[in-house]
């Protein structure tokens, strides 16, 4: 699983780094959310809310990807 995680993480970074506008940022977020769903286990679904069981390593990678998107959006808005 570890090599799969690293490969998917690097692909997500490429998707984020190639983002050039609002539509690309939206697609990047979807890609990163799919990364999250691919490597976690759905714990429960109550009252329309899903909860997940996630490894701390995957959680840290996910948070890092989200931060990269926020930085890209900020840089785009500063132009």
Tell me which residue range forms the domain holding 23. Answer: 2-77
Count: domains in the chain: 1
Q: Are 41 and 53 in contact (CB under 8 A)?
A: yes
Structure pTM? 0.89
pLDDT at 44 > cutoff 80: yes
Q: Given CA atoms 49, 15, 22, 74 in this order, what sign does their dihedral have?
A: positive
Q: For 1-79, where are the E strands, in sequence order?
A: 41-46, 49-53
What confidence score (pLDDT) does residue 1 get? 67
Percent share of the chain, pLDDT over 90: 84
What is the pLDDT averaged over residues 45-65? 93
């Amino acid at each position: 699983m570890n090599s799969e995680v690293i490969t998917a993480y690097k692909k997500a970074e490429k998707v984020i780094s190639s983002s050039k506008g609002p539509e690309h940022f939206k697609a990047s977020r979807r890609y990163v959310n799919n990364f999250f769903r691919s490597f976690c286990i759905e714990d429960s679904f109550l009252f329309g809310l899903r909860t997940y069981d996630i490894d701390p390593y995957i959680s840290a990678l996910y948070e890092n990807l989200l931060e990269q998107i926020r930085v890209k959006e900020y840089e785009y808005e500063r132009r």
